[in-house]
């Protein structure tokens, strides 16, 4: 944990200079400079209280930092979601501990509501004397007035009232406090009702109990995997993105962090994708977290029953997200407009959702979940829809904003829908045309091998029929048991993806926009998840040493806190896209598990020998 000088690009800290804290309802990003520059409470998808990350002038922030800051560094308290920032000025050093505190006696392993609706910030001067700046400025301003406990901040733009308490007199929400070595100050920002029965508890006790709750939960995460510390941090990150009350896991903590600086690839990821559920559940089950896996499965299957044609994403309550709108007031991170709230992809046609839902149901049943008559009727209907849907264009896994195409990944997931429906019907003696489903699944797998194959590229391509580009999503076909990783055409496709989409040093683009038009005609960074998919394919093809080296290389790109964004800029290894990105961490976990199995001599699950067992 080395000290770093505060860094800025066009007035903005690098994305990788932030840490995530949360309580299973909302969350915040805390910068290495001591600023809370993004915070959405009381829910992940609430309007942000602070979003200087998206506009340094108008976004608002909660700053706690010394005057004349010279250097800084961060770390999490081991195996927790509690963040510590050390800030060094020319006259002294202050250590700031940040946490969304949990209810006394909270048990995260029970996945019950645990947050108190409080951000606690504790500043302790460890050396010298520090003039500590306190600045609380919500987006759009706030009407501040004193009350018996401290300050009330009415935030009309968020329809929220914040309550600020401090252990020292705070003349104003904008104040400077002189603190000497050994002196401390506690600041508590609360958005829930402030008059609860635990109001008189000492704040340090609440931090201690929060640390204890996190460590009790973290002890369930397996450690016999490569890069065990990063796997545990990935698990904690996913838990911080987990809506404890119903098991939904949002894709990322943020909205509109750009996939290309200065570009328009800016999306709101504060929602839960059905697609993510199947990947996430597979990974969480294998590292000792069946409760979280089951919660996300239950949420996904419940949400999917609400619409005749299931959506690809929902809010944490399983409802359609709000319509996508552009926020004209905010300039965007490093002036990368537009800033968007809501996500129009919820209205897209994406045929892979059939397979995602049936795969969730398959995993649900495999872990003892019950498929009642109503749910099975719905699942059987989705399998029937998948029989024909794959023949028609859709917008695909990458949610392109052009006219649809018959994407190979979408057809493959329709194959998954038919295969899983047949297996469920056979194993659980459920009604349905299981022989037809099974036959159609086999036929569709053959169709993918034939119709997506391009002799000139010597690879499977992005869509069925001629003219498709190389697409890294096809690395997921073995993960979903559509094709074995060691099938000759998957081996050739893996080579083509590595050659054509390689961005250097283990990084991969998901596709090239010039070959695979997506409606934006702009570059983007390398997609972290795709590199982990490549690791899994190499394991399935028997190249364990090569896979292990690639895994270690990709893990080396994690932030100093062990976090990943959605993408990495190959030019300088800086982060791009929303942050932290759940699927990047899911990919890390899944690859670690595959490598651990291979290194123990267990034959790969993704290769031909284990196919369709």
> Tens digit of pLDDT for each residue in 290-342?
989 999 999 999 998 887 788 999 999 999 999 999 999 999 999 999 999 99
Provide the 10 A C-beta neighbour count for residue 577.
28
Does 590 map to a domain? yes
Same domain, 213 and 246: no
Does 313 map to a domain? yes
**CA proximity to 360, closest of 277, 246, 482:** 277
Tell me what pLDDT residue 503 has: 97
Q: Would you call 167 exposed, middle or buried from its count of C-beta atoms within 10 A (0-12, 13-18, 19+)?
A: middle
**Domain final position from 195, 218, 241:** 218
Q: Give the Cα separation of 564 and 526 in Å (integer).
A: 12
Q: How confident is the model at residue 612 (pLDDT cuts 50, 70, 90)?
A: very low
Tell me what pLDDT residue 367 has: 83
**Domain final position from 166, 186, 218:** 218
Same domain, 195 and 327: no
Q: How confident is the model at residue 196 (pLDDT cuts 50, 70, 90)?
A: very low
Pairing mode of beta strands 61-66, 69-76:
unpaired
Same domain, 152 and 252: no
**Domain final position from 218, 244, 273:** 218
Does 3 map to a domain? no
Q: How confident is the model at residue 195 (pLDDT cuts 50, 70, 90)?
A: very low
Same domain, 207 and 239: no
DSSP 165: E
Does 408 map to a domain? yes
**pTM of the predicted structure, to 2 decimals:** 0.95
Tell me what pLDDT residue 520 has: 85
**CA proximity to 300, closest of 368, 342, 249, 350:** 249
pLDDT at 197 exceeding the cut of 80:
no
Q: Is 318 helix (H, G, I), strand (E, B) or coil?
A: coil
pLDDT at 419 exceeding the cut of 90:
yes
pLDDT at 246 exceeding the cut of 60:
yes
Residues 411-436, mean pLDDT to the nearest whole number: 97
Does 263 map to a domain? yes
Residues 416-441, mean pLDDT to the nearest whole number: 97
Same domain, 188 and 239: no
pLDDT at 529 exceeding the cut of 70:
yes
Tell me what pLDDT residue 492 has: 98
Same domain, 243 and 212: no
pLDDT at 610 exceeding the cut of 60:
no
Q: Can you give the CATH number for the domain in which 357 is found? A: 1.50.10.10
Residues 360-385, mean pLDDT to the nearest whole number: 92
Same domain, 156 and 267: no
pLDDT at 212 exceeding the cut of 70:
yes
Q: Give the Cα separation of 590 and 596 in Å (integer).
A: 10
Same domain, 265 and 393: yes
More confident residue, 517 or 269: 269
Same domain, 167 and 279: no
Q: Domain containing 599: what range? A: 228-610
Q: What is the pLDDT of residues 229-242, one digit of tens each?
A: 999 999 999 999 99
Tell me what pLDDT residue 357 has: 95
Number of helices (H) and strands (E) in the chain: give both, helices first: 12, 24
* 200-205 long-range Cβ contacts below 8 angstroms, 24+ apart: 201/104, 203/101, 203/120, 203/122, 203/167, 204/122
Token couple for 475? 């690395």
Q: How confident is the model at residue 7 (pLDDT cuts 50, 70, 90)?
A: confident
Q: How many domains does the chain have?
A: 2
Measure the CA angle with vertex 389, ends 385 and 394; round to 5°: 135
Does 309 map to a domain? yes
Q: Give the Cα separation of 406 and 610 in Å (integer).
A: 29
Does 19 map to a domain? yes
Same domain, 206 and 251: no
Pairing mode of beta strands 174-180, 160-166:
unpaired
Does 7 map to a domain? no
Name which of 99-113, 145-159, 190-204, 492-506 the model is least confident about: 190-204
| Alpha-helix residue ranges (DSSP H) falling in 452-564 | 488-501, 528-540, 544-555
Mean model confidence pLDDT for the chain: 93
DSSP 336-356: -PPEEES-GGGGS--THHHHH
Same domain, 205 and 240: no
Residues 379-404, mean pLDDT to the nearest whole number: 94
Residue in the structure block whose two tokens are 């505190």: 101
Q: Can you give the CATH number for the domain in which 152 is found? A: 2.70.98.10
Q: What is the pLDDT of residues 560-572, one digit of tens each?
A: 999 999 999 999 9
Same domain, 189 and 244: no
pLDDT at 147 exceeding the cut of 90:
no
Token couple for 256? 């509109």
């Amino acid at each position: 944990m080395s000290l770093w000088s505060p860094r800025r690009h066009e007035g903005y800290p690098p994305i990788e200079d932030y840490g995530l804290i949360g309580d299973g309802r909302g969350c915040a990003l805390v910068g290495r400079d001591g600023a809370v520059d993004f915070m959405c409470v009381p829910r992940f998808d609430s309007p942000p209280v602070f979003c200087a990350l998206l506009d340094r002038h108008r976004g608002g922030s909660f700053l706690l930092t010394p005057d004349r800051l010279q250097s800084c560094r961060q770390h999490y308290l081991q195996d927790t979601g509690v963040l510590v920032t050390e800030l060094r000025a020319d006259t002294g050093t202050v250590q700031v501990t940040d946490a969304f505190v949990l209810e006394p006696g909270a048990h995260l392993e029970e996945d019950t509501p645990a947050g108190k609706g409080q951000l606690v910030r504790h500043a302790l001067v460890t050396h010298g004397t520090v003039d500590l700046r306190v600045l609380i400025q919500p987006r759009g301003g706030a009407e501040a007035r004193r009350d018996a406990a401290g300050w009330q901040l009415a935030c009309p733009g968020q329809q929220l009232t914040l309550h600020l308490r401090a252990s020292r007199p705070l003349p104003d929400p904008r104040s400077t406090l002189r603190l000497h070595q050994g002196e401390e100050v506690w600041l508590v920002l609360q958005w829930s009702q402030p008059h609860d029965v635990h109001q008189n508890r000492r704040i340090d006790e609440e931090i201690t109990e929060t640390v204890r709750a996190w460590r009790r939960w973290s002890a369930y995460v397996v450690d016999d995997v490569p890069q065990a510390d990063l796997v545990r941090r990935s698990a904690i990150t996913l838990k911080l993105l987990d809506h404890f009350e119903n098991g939904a896991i949002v894709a990322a903590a943020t909205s509109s962090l750009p996939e290309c600086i200065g570009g328009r690839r800016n999306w709101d990821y504060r929602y839960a994708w059905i697609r993510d559920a199947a990947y996430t559940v597979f990974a969480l089950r294998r590292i000792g977290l069946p409760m979280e896996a089951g919660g996300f499965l239950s949420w996904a299957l419940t949400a999917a029953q609400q619409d005749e044609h299931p959506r690809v994403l929902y809010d944490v309550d399983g409802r359609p997200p709000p319509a996508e709108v552009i926020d004209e007031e905010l300039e965007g991170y490093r002036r990368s407009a537009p800033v968007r709230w809501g996500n129009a992809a919820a209205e897209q046609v994406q045929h892979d959702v059939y397979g995602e839902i049936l795969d969730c149901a398959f995993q649900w049943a495999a872990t003892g979940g019950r498929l009642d008559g109503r749910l099975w009727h719905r699942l059987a209907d989705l399998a029937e829809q998948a029989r024909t849907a794959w023949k028609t264009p859709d917008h695909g896994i990458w949610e392109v904003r052009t006219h649809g195409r018959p994407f190979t990944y979408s057809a493959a997931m329709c194959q998954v829908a038919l295969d899983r429906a047949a297996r469920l019907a056979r194993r659980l003696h459920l009604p349905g045309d299981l022989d037809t489903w099974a036959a159609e699944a086999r036929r569709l797998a053959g169709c993918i091998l034939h119709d997506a194959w391009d002799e000139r590229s010597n690879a499977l391509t992005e869509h069925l029929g001629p003219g498709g580009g190389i697409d890294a999503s096809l690395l997921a076909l073995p993960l979903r048991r559509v094709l074995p990783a060691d099938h000759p055409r998957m081996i050739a496709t893996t080579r083509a993806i590595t050659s054509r989409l390689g961005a250097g040093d283990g990084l991969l683009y998901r596709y090239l926009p010039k070959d695979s038009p997506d409606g934006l005609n702009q570059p983007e960074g390398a997609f972290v998840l795709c590199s982990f998919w490549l690791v899994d394919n190499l394991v399935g093809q028997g190249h364990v040493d090569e896979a292990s080296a690639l895994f270690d290389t990709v893990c080396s790109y994690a932030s100093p806190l062990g976090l990943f964004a959605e993408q990495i800029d190959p030019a300088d290894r800086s982060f791009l896209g929303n942050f932290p990105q759940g699927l990047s961490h899911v990919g890390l976990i899944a690859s670690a598990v595959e490598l651990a199995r291979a290194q123990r001599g267990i034959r790969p699950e993704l290769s031909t020998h284990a196919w369709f067992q």
